[in-house]
Amino acid sequence: MDKIKRERWKRKFGEWFSENIENAGIIDIRYPIKGTYVWLPYGFKLRKHLIDLLRRLHNETGHEETLFPLLIPEQEFMKEAKHVKGFENEVYWVTHGGIEELNVKLAIRPTSETAIYPMFALWIRSHKDMPLKIYQVVNVFRYETKSTKPLIRLREITTFKEAHTAHATKEDAEKQVKEAISIYKKFFDELGIPYIISKRPEWDKFPGAEYTTAFDTIMPDGKSLQIATVHNLAQNFSKTFEIKFEDVNGEQNYAYQTCYGISDRAIASHLALHGDDLGLCLSPEVAPFQIVVVPILYEGKEEAVNAHLKKVLKILENFRIHIDDRNETPGSKFYYWEKKGVPLRIEIGPKDAEANAVTVAIRSNGKKEQVKLEALSLHLKNTILEIKNTLRERAWSFLSEMTSSALSLEEAEKILKRKGGIIKTSWCGKKECAEKIENELNVRLLGINEEERKKGKCIACGEETESVLNIAKAY
Ligand code: PR8
């Protein structure tokens, strides 16, 4: 049984989120530019572990890390018409160097296609140069006009992992889309973030893409958040940027491309979905400290406890730990680390020293037990796995609670009023029906669920269809 309550967490999620990311020392929201924030040391460590995980998943699938410049010359940026149109309202421009006006305006990357693809054109000559699979983790800037929110809607996206690939055939690019989806599934599974995958409608795809597949999750307040996207770019950019190669038959062809990205929203959803009324609750996968050690020093027993602590620290060498030896009461230390979401706490008091044991407390369920030193290492390894699984299962069962089906607009409206979440329904594919659904329900069409087909009638016009559409009120 969970001892920890998740009530305020759900009821007043917006308030809970900003209060807790600040209280836990993740970011400082007071920086005087809208949509930009400061990563604090504790948050920065969390971010680093999350990026390490992303790097590992990309490196082991043959992606190589690169770093491209932040600035993009205007003429490159303006080349791909649809891409430009999609981003024209969101780009920050550098127009001056000192007091001199620049001859060529420079775009601050809102994403890096137009920085990277002119270089791909120089690097790719033959089918042997492909597949080319690169990625970078950088900051990008988007002048968002909707209201900004820490980690969720940023003007400076500080943790932008973007991957870009080029292939000799359409089939290879298609396979790459599948690989990207499986990388992201693994990533979110490691973080315990549940997702639903949809093919975005034509009008909501990435500017310049052939099609976009998106991962969405549901926040505690019932609204969906897009947490990752995978785009098949076909030859749209390669034709604009002249990414040409000699194919196996000696003929010139344009490369087939894909790109896919993830942002700070992965961190936001990790914090949001696992938290509770006490504060954050981190997964041991990315927690800055997996274990906090609190020595409990009673007068006259300090020596015994300190000697015991030394023995314990030897056993903890393979874990990320922090020793809290501040001059505070144990109770206030427990509260402090609970708020920050450290997965495990080890208390070492005189009784533990006598019993040659420690007391282990688990943040995610509030359980506490004494463990003998000889069993400690294995116990911690198993508990860490258990915590990861529990967080993942708890979050997936929340997503499943928040997923409903509706056969009519009225039914969908009732569900949205009652609890929000994702609604699966039927849609014929026509734009006018999509507009009717969006306008009447004030929702976003997340897109078609490609893994599911079900006979039904379009909720807007009644036409028979087998497509399953996901809709939700969205961030
Ligand atoms: C691309 N090009 O750019 P995408 N704040 C936080 N996260 C955001 C924001 C924002 N303002 N805007 C988008 N995201 C492609 C793929 C290179 C990589 C997050 O794609 O525009 C969203 O989760 O779809 C989005 O899915 C992801 O960045 C990638 O952005």
**For the segment 367-423, what is each residue's pLDDT rounded down to a tens digit?**
999 999 999 999 999 999 999 999 999 999 999 999 999 999 999 999 999 999 999
CA separation, residue 146 to residues 12, 142, 143, 155 (Å): 21, 11, 9, 10
Q: Is 221 in the pocket of ligand 1 (CB under 6 A)?
A: no
Please give the Cα distance from 371 to 356 (Å, whole number).
Answer: 9
Q: Which of 163, 215, 171, 175 is nearest to 193 (CA)?
A: 215
Q: Is 117 in the pocket of ligand 1 (CB under 6 A)?
A: no
Query: Does a cis peptide bond (omega within 30 degrees of 0) precede residue 41?
Result: no
Q: Is 198 in the pocket of ligand 1 (CB under 6 A)?
A: no
Please give the Cα distance from 215 to 262 (Å, whole number).
Answer: 10
Q: Is 228 in the pocket of ligand 1 (CB under 6 A)?
A: yes
166 CA from centroid of ligand 1 (Å): 20
Q: Which ligand 1 atom is the nearest neighbour of the CA of 163?
A: 18
Q: Is 162 in the pocket of ligand 1 (CB under 6 A)?
A: yes
Pairing of strands 321-323, 291-295: parallel
Q: What is the pLDDT of residue 267?
A: 98
Q: What is the end-to-end Cα distance of the chain in Å, rounded?
A: 32
Q: What is the pLDDT of residue 420?
A: 95
> Cβ-count burial of 57 within 10 angstroms (0-12 exposed, 13-18 middle, 19+ buried)?
middle
Percent of the chain clearing pLDDT 70 (strictly above): 99
Please give the Cα distance from 475 to 446 (Å, whole number).
Answer: 12
CA separation, residue 199 to residues 85, 180, 203, 206, 453 (Å): 21, 14, 11, 11, 13
Q: What is the pLDDT of residue 9?
A: 84
**Degrees, nearest 5: CA angle 392-420-273:** 25
Q: Is 72 in the pocket of ligand 1 (CB under 6 A)?
A: no
Q: Is 111 in the pocket of ligand 1 (CB under 6 A)?
A: yes
* Residue 316 DSSP code: G
| pLDDT single digits (tens) 140-196 | 999 999 999 999 999 999 999 999 999 999 999 999 999 999 999 999 999 999 999
262 CA from centroid of ligand 1 (Å): 6
Q: Is 263 in the pocket of ligand 1 (CB under 6 A)?
A: yes
Amino acid identity at 323 = I
Residue nearest to atom 18 of ligand 1 (CA): 261
252's tokens: 């010139």
- Residues 6+ positions from 204 with CB-CB distance below 8 Å: 212, 444, 445, 447
Average pLDDT estimate for 336-341: 98
Q: Is the pLDDT of residue 1 over 70?
A: no
Residue 462 has a CB neighbour count (10 Å cut-off) of 12
Please give the Cα distance from 22 to 29 (Å, whole number).
Answer: 7
Q: Which of 421, 468, 461, 454 is nearest to 440 (CA)?
A: 461
Q: What is the pLDDT of residue 211?
A: 98
CA separation, residue 336 to residues 279, 349, 375, 454 (Å): 10, 19, 28, 50
Q: What is the pLDDT of residue 300?
A: 85
| pLDDT single digits (tens) 206-227 | 999 999 999 999 999 999 999 9
**Degrees, nearest 5: CA angle 160-161-165:** 135
Q: Which of 138, 150, 128, 122 is nearest to 35 (CA)?
A: 150
Q: Is 161 in the pocket of ligand 1 (CB under 6 A)?
A: no
Q: Which of 241, 159, 172, 191 is nearest to 388 (CA)?
A: 191
Q: Is 216 in the pocket of ligand 1 (CB under 6 A)?
A: no
Q: Is the pLDDT of residue 301 over 90?
A: no
Q: What is the pLDDT of residue 117?
A: 98
Q: Is the pLDDT of residue 27 over 50?
A: yes
- When mean pLDDT is compared across 25-29, 76-80, 252-256, the lowest value belongs to 76-80
Q: Is 213 in the pocket of ligand 1 (CB under 6 A)?
A: no
Q: Is the pLDDT of residue 41 over 90?
A: yes
263 CA from centroid of ligand 1 (Å): 6
User: CB-hemisphere CA count at 13 Å for 319?
Assistant: 30
Average pLDDT estimate for 251-275: 98
Residue nearest to atom 3 of ligand 1 (CA): 111
Mean pLDDT of the chain: 96
Please give the Cα distance from 235 to 247 (Å, whole number).
Answer: 15
Q: Is 267 in the pocket of ligand 1 (CB under 6 A)?
A: no
Helical H runs in 24-139? 41-59, 74-77, 81-87, 113-123
Q: Which of 382, 249, 226 is nearest to 319 (CA)?
A: 382
* Residue 255 DSSP code: P
Please give the Cα distance from 116 to 173 (Å, whole number).
Answer: 17
* Top mutation candidate among 80, 116, 148, 265 for ligand 1, by most atoms within 8 Å of CB: 265
Q: What is the pLDDT of residue 3?
A: 60
Give the model's confidence band at 6: pLDDT under 50 very low, under 70 low, under 90 confident, else very high.
confident
265 CA from centroid of ligand 1 (Å): 9
| pLDDT single digits (tens) 356-376 | 999 999 999 999 999 999 999
Pairing of strands 252-254, 244-246: antiparallel
Q: Which ligand 1 atom is the nearest neighbour of the CA of 226?
A: 23
* Residue 391 DSSP code: H
Average pLDDT estimate for 44-66: 98
Question: 14: phi > 0 → left, psi -120 to 50 → alpha, else beta; which?
Answer: alpha
Give the model's confidence band at 2: pLDDT under 50 very low, under 70 low, under 90 confident, else very high.
low
Amino acid identity at 85 = K
